[in-house]
Chains A and B, each alone.
Chain A
């Protein structure tokens, strides 16, 4: 029976309609709005489970496909489908949204209904981005997503929220409009807006390079890559906890997803030609941004910079493949890079989300994000201290946690490409440990710093549940990554085979 349902449409529209219902319910009964939001997000999460269990791992073809004409005049279709790249990201989205709704439970007192509705609508739009197989549909979700995020940061954010949210919107808008021109150009060439048709469209080198750059502008802003990353620290610092979690855990992944879905398969030759650029920018992100993270005074800013560095790993893994193929001639090493990048994205989704939630827990009690205001938190909040240490360890890539798997795979792959790539990439093991552990040392350990820390209450049941679930996910993925890798294997293998064939 389940296979009959239009599962992807449900995943997109249940949260959006749920969001509208929450909005309609209004603020008169905040408790009702919260419950309805939680129910919707749980329902969406449950709906995403058949996506995992019913997914055939042996094939790279699109599954759960839906195809309806939408704008016949332009040959635009409502075309949905998922493969091994999108399924884990969709599940990550539904999972994270449940936690975000829970995290805003008591904390958000102002305009509760609008807050919950914004997150639910955004969930639907983000799932739409991962499931769309039509370029216009993809673009609609991609841009539509900006509206709720713009409001989330702007309404519930910190003191400089207006600056941060307008910067966020304009940066992303700037990147994406050029992608739109590229998409339209390919439509004129191919007569279709289907993303899978774009994959097969033969393109000359100049065209590929221009299209690649247009995509790069869009995705590099989203990931974000150095030097267009500056919106991220501002947005993260000013956003409410839930907004930071969604930004870090999912929105950044959309940039990485774009590279895999668009850049690599549509412009393989340009990707090969310009892989030095992406690798260079990724390594700058890993090393330079790693150093920048160390000196931050603000916890959220530190985690934001650490996100940029970790996403650098993902993009590095994606674009190492050409160098590996040239050096070794086998696909095994290249596949390791792609898989490493994907695992890194999923794992970072859990870890960065968890760290932002930890900061949120502290912020709710002390209303400060300054590291200097804390110290010795473990004495008053032992359970919380344990969680925070675990997540910081995972962030620095401790074996046994999910952070280790992705980083290890990418570093291993980069050895096959170039020793110096590997050397620079491996500095993250040091830098990551430095900023994560130093953060923990200053915030969690040591003497109780001041009177306010001494009065802190440990996590309540709701917070324990959120952090506990995330801790379980981080450990599970770290100890047993096989299901995730199996899920992606066939798709990534197919992607690699596709990229290896020149379009010229």
Chain B
């Protein structure tokens, strides 16, 4: 299993890192990237389009897991690459970032492949603990420590809620296995009070982890407070894992009561779209703006899940994957503009980017239009698929709400484009970046355009993953 490979490699990197001199720290980096690459190869090689369970039914390898894991690897690969120079410039280029990152990846893989509540929780905690530590990576920064503390307290609370919901479900059904829970719930004639309770707690825990309104308070502070290289990690790949967790919990084990959690998600989705998009307008810090934009994207993700159809799940998976790619590019661009002793995380820093570097301005333009959902970028198809799923189950009002808030959302994305193209630069120093960074961000940005021009393959893969 790719998980075992990642675990062993993470341990090797951890031990090896102790013996490496700071000068040769690049070996840690290289090994981490190699791990991801190997895991990606394993995931692809082991994907056979069928569903297998292992470890007494607590672990599942199905097409959705393969697809989600593959994109987790790819996105984290880009994230590690973006982080390298950023960490080095800030004297943070230590092994911890990569070791914690690899354990986070392991957590995500376990979440994605969980087939029992226990496995799911295990994966989630592994990911969360790695992220808490990563946020606090910059020990001397008070803002980062504050963010880590907030994240930890709220995250622990959410985990508690989720665990409580799971334990109630165990009490009701007598099992932690997802397939067994699903069958005993669909066998139940009517919804009893305990189940409603359990459902509420599970949804609440999920909403916390996804950052849906009204459980979104931690997102802006954590995104803002964490070093950008950590923000790019938190903001991208874990969204795919969180989507998978929602799928396992809601669609697979609680599919029998879809109508009930569908209603809860609808409220969360509309609130997320509204609050995320409206508050983002008022932000002057790009990281905070993107944090609020994440909240609104989570709203779209929830819309896809709540429709409860194969098309809906496929559209949500497509959305999660494309969002992870867009977020990696957006935060990657902040990293690219930053240099030692200077964080390019306010909107002002993007002024006149077209004069300083037309190519990077163009890439950021693609990211912004993609997030706003303007064709021919991939963000449009993500929104199209979700809206289509929602209209398909006759929830026209949700579709109208979604497009309405997208219009509001378009405004703040346009403002970034405006700053880059219409304003004169304040900071005229040339950009500093390595060749690998330049190539990676170009590939990342162009992927947004190319997936937009030819969305058929990825869309087909998502459909196949969900139908299988």
Contacts and interface: CB of A to CB of B under 8 A. Distances in A.
Contact of A169 (B354, B387, B414, B422): B414
Contact of B456 (A72, A150, A151, A161): A72
Interface string A172-185: 01100110110011
B403 interface: yes
B229 interface: no
Interface residues of B, number: 38
Contacts of A178: 400, 403
Interface in B356-374: 358, 365, 369, 374
A188 interface: yes
B376 A140 contact: yes
A180 B383 CA distance: 11
Interface stretch (B173-181, B273-281, B404-412): B404-412
B396 A155 contact: no
B392 A188 contact: yes
B160 interface: no
Contacts of B354: 155
B407 A71 contact: no
A166 B417 CA distance: 10
A354 interface: no
B388 A177 contact: no
B391 A74 contact: no
A166 B411 contact: yes
A170 B410 contact: yes
Contact of A139 (B375, B411, B417): B375
Contact of A181 (B369, B396, B462): B396
A188 B463 contact: no
Choose among A139, A151, A155, A181 the residue with the greatest number of B CB atoms under 10 Å from its CB. Answer: A181
A165 to B, nearest CB: 8
Contacts of A73: 314, 456, 459-460, 462-463
Choose among A73, A161, A165, A181 the residue with the greatest number of B CB atoms under 10 Å from its CB. Answer: A73
B421 interface: yes
B382 interface: no
B399 interface: yes
Nearest to A169: B414
Nearest to A153: B422
Given A74-B385, A143-B375, A69 B456 contact: yes
A341 to B, nearest CB: 29
A177 B406 contact: yes
Contacts of A150: 414, 417
Contacts of A181: 387, 391, 396, 399-400, 403
A71 B391 contact: no
Interface string B395-438: 01001100110110011001101100110000000000000000
B152 interface: no
A74 B459 contact: yes
A143 B391 contact: no
A180 B373 CA distance: 12
Interface in A72-118: 72-74, 76, 114
Choose among B411, B417, B463 the residue with the greatest number of A CB atoms under 10 Å from its CB. Answer: B417
Contacts of A69: 456
Contact of A185 (B374, B396, B403, B454): B396
B26 interface: no
A187 B459 contact: no
Choose among A76, A165, A184 the residue with the greatest number of B CB atoms under 10 Å from its CB. Answer: A184
B403 A180 contact: yes
A72 B460 CA distance: 7
Interface in A129-166: 136, 139-141, 143-144, 146-147, 150-151, 154-155, 161-162, 165-166
Contacts of B385: 74
A70 interface: yes
B421 A155 contact: yes
Contacts of A141: 375
A147 B422 contact: no
A154 B421 contact: yes
B380 interface: yes
Nearest to B391: A184
B392 A177 contact: no
Contacts of B410: 169-170, 173
Given A140-B376, A144-B376, A178-B403, A187 B422 contact: no
Nearest to A161: B422
B317 to A, nearest CB: 12
A188 B311 CA distance: 12
B407 A174 contact: yes
B376 A114 contact: no
A214 B410 CA distance: 19
A136 B375 CA distance: 10
A71 B124 CA distance: 34
A182 to B, nearest CB: 10
A35 B354 CA distance: 23
A74 B388 contact: yes
B414 A184 contact: no
B455 interface: yes
Interface in A329-356: none
B455 A140 contact: no
Nearest to A178: B403
A188 B406 contact: no
A246 to B, nearest CB: 18
B456 A184 contact: no
Contacts of B369: 147
Given A114-B358, A170-B410, A177-B407, A187 B388 contact: yes
Given A71-B456, A155-B421, A185-B396, A177 B403 contact: yes
Given A140-B376, A184-B387, 19 more contacts: A71-B381, A71-B456, A71-B459, A72-B456, A74-B385, A74-B459, A147-B374, A150-B417, A154-B422, A155-B421, A155-B422, A162-B418, A166-B414, A169-B410, A170-B410, A170-B411, A180-B384, A185-B391, A188-B388
14 contacts: A69-B456, A72-B456, A74-B388, A140-B380, A143-B380, A151-B417, A154-B418, A155-B421, A170-B407, A170-B410, A173-B407, A178-B400, A178-B403, A181-B400
Interface of A: 69-74, 76, 114, 136, 139-141, 143-144, 146-147, 150-151, 154-155, 161-162, 165-166, 169-170, 173-174, 177-178, 180-181, 184-185, 187-188
